[in-house]
Amino acid sequence: MSRRGEALLWLAQRASAAVLALCVVVHLATMIYAAHSGLDAAAILARTRGNLPWLAFYSLFLLAVTVHLPIGLRAVLSEWLGWRGRSRDATLIALALALAGLGMRAILGVFG
């Protein structure tokens, strides 16, 4: 990858980390609230279905994960397994697409 590409990947990882820091806190707080307030599945679905702010928040969360995880894994694969080059990057793009697809499926399942 070009020097510019490497630098922009680094920036994307830092920016996605900043988004994740916020999203993970909100997500955990929501989970803890939902678990401790005795909401059942029907009550949770009643709150999430058709809720556009909820959809926007989790879509942003998913986007940050999709960007952040493959870039971090890229460094791990290079440094620990010595796996570099196009085969590694193609595998990670496939992983990112799978994450995005599965994540969006889960989000739409609770939204729709």
Partner 1 sequence: MSVLDVRVWRGTEDGAYQAFEVPRQASQTVLDVVTHIQRALDPTLAYRFACRVGMCGSCAMTVNGVARWTCRTHVDKVAADDRLEIAPLANLPVIRDLVTDMSTFFDKWARARGSFSGTRSRRDDFARVAPQSPARRDVDAAIECIGCGVCYSSCDVVAWNPDYLGPAALNRAWTLERDERDAGRAERLRAVAGDAGCQACHTHMSCSERCPKHIAPTAGIAGLKREVVRAALKGEL
Q: Which long-range contacts (CB under 8 A, 24 or more apart) does 90-97 make?
A: 95/69, 95/70, 96/66, 96/67, 96/69, 96/70
Residues 100, 66 contacting (CB under 8 angstroms): yes
CB of 91 to partner 1, least distance (A): 17
Residues 68, 13 contacting (CB under 8 angstroms): yes
Task: Give the footprint of partner 1 on this chain (CB under 8 A).
Answer: 1, 3-4, 6-8, 10-11, 75, 78-80, 84
For partner 1, give the closer residue by CB, 33 or 78. Answer: 78
CB of 66 to partner 1, least distance (A): 20
CB of 8 to partner 1, least distance (A): 6
For partner 1, give the closer residue by CB, 76 or 98. Answer: 76
